[in-house]
Amino acid sequence: MYTLPPTECPFCYAKVNFTVTAVDSYKRVKEVTIQGNHIHIVEVDTLAKCPNCNNSCLIKIEIPEKHYSEMREALQNFQYQPSRPLYFKILKVYPEPKPVYSHPSLPDKVRVVFEDLQEMLREKKEPSLIVGGCRAVLESAIKYLGGEGDRLIDKIDDLLRKGIITKPIADWAHHVRIEGNESLHDLLYTDITPEEAEEIVEFVKLFLIYTFELPARIKEKRRS
């Protein structure tokens, strides 16, 4: 058996050691010197299976030419243990993992936390934690937009009055607020499903696009 270094699966998004199930012929691409040794590096297409979801994908790698034969031997002999290569690089994964949503126009704290929440959703973490986090992201974004009031409900309504958000977006923001409150106040007994958490994450994404990304794009377009 031959496994690759930890790589993100494009299907389940887990970071796993893919198991190589087939290799193509190689082509020599360069020569490097490592620890005083001159090594010919080859580029190889491999078919590899994710141990988490059992889906297969094509992974293009670079390895020492000598190690290529060890890889083939490991595929034919399950008991064979190949040596650790001095050089190893993953060049491409097909299909490519879809990146989480992010945009330079987002406030730094909002951007970083929302990226983490999307990763948590992919990794199938506790839905109530994700929804509670979405509420926190939403409140931070609303404060940045100038929403005023003692409570989040007041801040949302303030943005609506100012015309910064529309009524449908305000209604959805209240939905996130309510679900987030339940998650934070009753963490052990909330019945939020993974599907509901995904829906909340998608709304927060659309909220951020509408309130930050689109205005930034329009501003940039006007400059040009």
Distance separating alpha carbons of residues 121 and 102, to the nearest angstrom = 15
Distance separating alpha carbons of residues 69 and 23, to the nearest angstrom = 11
pTM over 0.85: no
> Band of the pLDDT at 186, cuts 50, 70, 90?
low
Residues of the chain above pLDDT 90, percent: 61
- The predicted-structure confidence for 92-128, as pLDDT tens digits, reads as follows 999 988 889 999 999 999 999 999 999 999 888 999 9
**Three-class DSSP category at 22:** strand
Q: What is the average per-residue pLDDT within 56-85?
A: 87
Show the domains of the chain with their CATH numbers: 2-94 (no CATH), 108-223 (1.20.120)
92, 60 in Cβ contact below 8 A? yes
> Band of the pLDDT at 85, cuts 50, 70, 90?
confident
131, 95 in Cβ contact below 8 A? no
Cα atoms found within 13 Å of the Cα of residue 184, Cβ hemisphere only: 12
Distance separating alpha carbons of residues 217 and 23, to the nearest angstrom = 44
